[in-house]
Amino acid sequence: MTPAGRRPGPSTTSAAILGAARTLFAHGGYQGTTMRAIAEQAGVNQALIRHFYGSKQDLFLSAVALPEEAIGAMMTTLERTPRQRLGEQIVAVFVHIWRDPTTSHQVQAFFRAAAGTEEGAKMARDLAEHLLLPRFVATLAIEPSIGAAIVAQLLGFAFLSVIVGAEPLSTASDETVVALLGPTVQAYLDRS
């Protein structure tokens, strides 16, 4: 509910739409989520969603993409970390992303969309090939195949621990996860 006497501003409205989209895509998948349901959840009409975000596909890409400032902050952190501690740092950043409630929804929406339909897989492929992998590989100055192997290790871990929720990973502490996967990522970096 909006406090009496105040209308929600554009940033509040667009954030509400994005929040509703993330929650519904995470639980229902891309195909199982309608623009109408997102509009209802956000308390707006569909025209307003199209005004802010365009088509359902555009909205989905906005919902699963990490905010530009978060990606920028992450890359800056990685650039400033000494090379010999970079493996641990990369894992720590990813553990934070997939366990933080907001971004955890984005990770889940990404998996559900990619695994659910051919259309979702194609979007995930575009996102991975053209946005995430090139930036990751350029920031760390590593070979593309090494970057892909690191991402595979992290995504596989998120899949087992967050999506499937299998033990012993799903309840392991952040420190345990960093100690388990950090040396693996470091070894990949040292090979590059």
Cα gap 52→93, rounded to integer Å = 30
Among 73, 83, 119, 166, binds its own copies (CB under 8 A): 166
Kindly identify the residues of this chain, within the stretch 18-77, that bind its own copies according to CB under 8 A: 29
Segment near its own copies (CB under 8 A); pick from 16-24, 67-75, 95-103, 179-187: 179-187
Q: Which is nearer to its own copies, 15 or 169 (CB)?
A: 169
Sign of CA dihedral 38, 41, 44, 45: positive
State the burial class of residue 68 (Cβ atoms within 10 Å of its Cβ: 0-12, 13-18, 19+).
exposed
Cα–Cα nearest to 142, from 112, 186, 178: 186
Among 79, 83, 125, 175, binds its own copies (CB under 8 A): 125
Q: Which is nearer to its own copies, 10 or 32 (CB)?
A: 32
Cα gap 144→136, rounded to integer Å = 9
SS3 at position 128: helix
| Footprint on this chain of its own copies (rule: CB under 8 A) | 29, 111-112, 114-116, 121, 124-125, 128-129, 133, 144-146, 148-149, 151-157, 159-161, 163-169, 172, 176, 180-181, 183-184, 187-188, 191
